Structure 1
Amino acid sequence: MIRINPWLNSIRKLIPACVLILSHPLHAAPKIDKEDLKQLRNQIESLQQALAGTEESKSEAANALRESERAVNDATRKLAALTNAQREANDKLNQLQSQSRQIKNHVEAQQLQLSKLLYRQYINGSGQKEYLSLLLNQQDPNQIARNLHYHGYLSQAHSDNINTLRINLEQLDALTRESREKSSEIATIQMKQAEQKKHLEQEKAEQTKLLARISMQADQQRREIDKLKRDEERLARLVEKIAKQLASKNRAKSLSNSRLPDASTDGNPFSALKGRLSLPVRGELANRFGSPRADGGIIWKGLFIRSVSGEEVKAIAGGRVVFADWLRGFGNLMIVDHGSSYMSLYGNNETNHKQAGDAVRGGDTIATVGNSGGNPESGLYFELRHQGKPFDPLNWVRIK
């Protein structure tokens, strides 16, 4: 994360310095270097790039968290399936155990029956002796035959019971062994799945913490960017204000007019008078054509010449007055038409000495200086226009 506290400290130190500049007389103010403002903007841009990287890391962390959650979900689903399988295996084992008890009871009954049979044969002698007893007994031959036949059935049944007993015992052992192996296998898989889920849960928790940490970092960077932008705006306004005041002071020092118009230019077309005209009043120039006004947003379309109230305002060249009246923002305003779509404008006058329709010659007094129209200081507002569009008077006059 980019450390920007030093930047904020440098900005906070810079703003009071600019305030100190404003608090001193303008002639003592040094040249304002905009390098600090440029550096601040570069720092904001760098922080914005870092924020973009943080947002990208946040997106990557969110993707990783999503994958972790998916993995946890899969593991949980597998564990649920294994739990069901374990439950089924347990049910099967219970069935086998129940079946085993039934077989065991049946085996015990067969064993009891077999033991009784063997005991009877032991008491009566061998099976061959019983067979001879049946044969030599003085009975009906048919009855003897039937008894011998039954005896064969019984012997076969005894033999079948013994075989069935053996098969049941083997089957019981096999089923019990299979059930235990299956149960053990499921328990092993379930344990591994539980370990994997635990690991995934830990990974998910770490991803969640990482995402929260990155989000907090991004929020902090946004707040720091907002602070820097506000500092930048304050500094930019301050630098602009200082620059305007310095420029205004420098212009007032460097441009001061003491030359007045005369009638030497009369008779010539106005378009031929470029560089031969004089400003209409003595005084100091407070601004330049095209420079921004102090109230901001609007540029100067003419010149404001600071002068003493009551000073005479002269016509810069011959022409005819086409407007002499009060106009909002310009106070007592006079407009002189010089022909060929050239006009000169004289505003903020204390008094207009000519009326619309009056012809004037270069150097004639047409008004006196004032501050009409709500102007805060005494002086003359002067414009030159061609075809209704203003142009820079300083390109047409000689200043002395």
Structure 2
Amino acid sequence: MRASERAISDINRELADLARRNGDAENELRVLGSAAAQLEAAIDEQQIAFGKLLAQRYRQGHAPLLRLLLSGEDPNRVARQLHYYGYIARAQAGLLEELRSNLERQQDLESKAAQARADLAKIERSRVTHKQQLEKEHLTRRQALALISKEVDAQRREIGDLQRDEARLAELLERIEKIIASRPKAPPPRRDQERGQRPPRHEIDAFGQFKGKLNLPVQGELAHRFGSPRPGGGTVWKGLFIQADSGQGVQAIAPGRVVFADWLRGFGNLMIVDHGENYMSLYGNNETLYKQVGEAVARGERLAAVGNSGGNTSSGLYFEMRHRGKPFDPMGWLNSK
């Protein structure tokens, strides 16, 4: 099940990227189509103008200049006629050059449009392949769930399993805290800051300022609260379980940096975000993880998609907040409005 749930997360991420590329290609094709339509209209106008010039030259005969010079008419009138014929000739040459240039541009646009259509077809083939792979992984996962459903139900009644899951998470958080603590400390304030100047933004965005202002990371039904008994008794919930539809977006509660994004037994596809000052937020049971370790995230940015990984029978998000590795009730930090 671990491999299939990881694969589902990876395929969904690739499908999201394909959707973005498909949108870019469709937009490019629309732009090319609009440019081609404008160019075709310009070519039509040039062809009509060029046809009129040719018709006028034909009516004048094959040697209008010679007849004019030998006509014996008034020299001033002859000079005006010669100037007019020169203008016609230059206009004809100009139109011909513009028509040739526009026809070349039309051929180039048709070539680019053909390439854009080929790219769209390639993206669609890739999307179909990924969809088939996703359905296959979902089937594999459903089969795995069917095989272990009785075992999972029995395990959830046993206090020992829950305690082991929590112990694994505690060990993971301890390792993460040691890694964070080993990082170089921030440099001391500069002289201009010591003189009272405003420090950089990231130095004043302390996590404590968000108390009472946070939003839940996903909209849904609050099925289990912090401190309520877990099934089977003997242990309590260390966070919140929010029932939500599979695929619904999970958002970061505050700015931070991803320090863990992987599968963990009991928590499925789990993401942990470090907010500084020894505060962390945890998002478990996801179907898809969109961020990777080391990536900075903004408040409200999409981190993952709701799922039921980790053996859950219903879809939803398991959400914890911790300070110095200890869980605390997130409800006291949420916006009451």
Q: Which has the higher contact order (CA 8 A, sep 6+)?
A: 2
TM-score range, shorter chain: 0.3 to 0.5
Name the one with the larger helix percent. Answer: 1
Rg comparison, structure with higher value = 1
- TM-score, with length taken from structure 2: 0.41
